[in-house]
């Protein structure tokens, strides 16, 4: 299964590009999904006065104004990842659910390396793990 990289940030709800320890790299994104009501446009955060409301608690369709709460909408999203494993150096692709889990004491999107099977976490920026 090959995953398609986004052409622009307008296609994504979430996008990150990180470097990890031991020459590990991660590029991850979650695509916006079609409106379940009209199917004509992609759901996104509400736009007020020309700016996207970043901490909004809902997602809105720009065509039909259909609204879904954050808790209802985000489980439908999938996180697509291209990575270089910091443990074995393997390059690969993965998909996981768009939900943060606790990984080494820090909330992170967690996926498993296809070659070595070790878990890799995508934490919020600048968060350090609490492992000993």
pLDDT above 90 (res 82): yes
Overall average pLDDT of the 31-44 stretch = 86
Which of 72, 93, 71, 74 lies closest to 84 in space, CA to CA?
Answer: 93
Task: Report the distance separating Cα 83 and Cα 109, nearest Å.
Answer: 13
pTM, entire model? 0.81
pLDDT above 70 (res 132): no
Task: Report the distance separating Cα 35 and Cα 23, nearest Å.
Answer: 39
Supply the pLDDT for residue 1: 54
């Amino acid at each position: 299964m090959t995953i398609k990289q986004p052409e622009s940030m307008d296609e994504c709800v979430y996008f990150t590009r990180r470097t990890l320890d031991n020459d590990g790299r991660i590029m991850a994104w979650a695509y916006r999904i079609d409106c379940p009501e009209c199917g004509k446009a992609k759901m996104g955060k509400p736009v007020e006065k020309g700016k996207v409301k970043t901490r909004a608690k809902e997602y809105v369709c720009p065509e039909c104004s259909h609204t879904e709460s954050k808790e209802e909408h985000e489980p439908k999203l999938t996180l697509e990842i291209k990575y270089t494993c910091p443990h074995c150096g393997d390059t690969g692709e993965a998909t996981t659910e768009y939900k943060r889990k606790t990984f080494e004491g820090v909330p992170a999107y967690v996926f498993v390396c296809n070659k070595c099977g070790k878990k890799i976490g995508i934490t919020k920026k600048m968060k350090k793990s609490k492992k000993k």
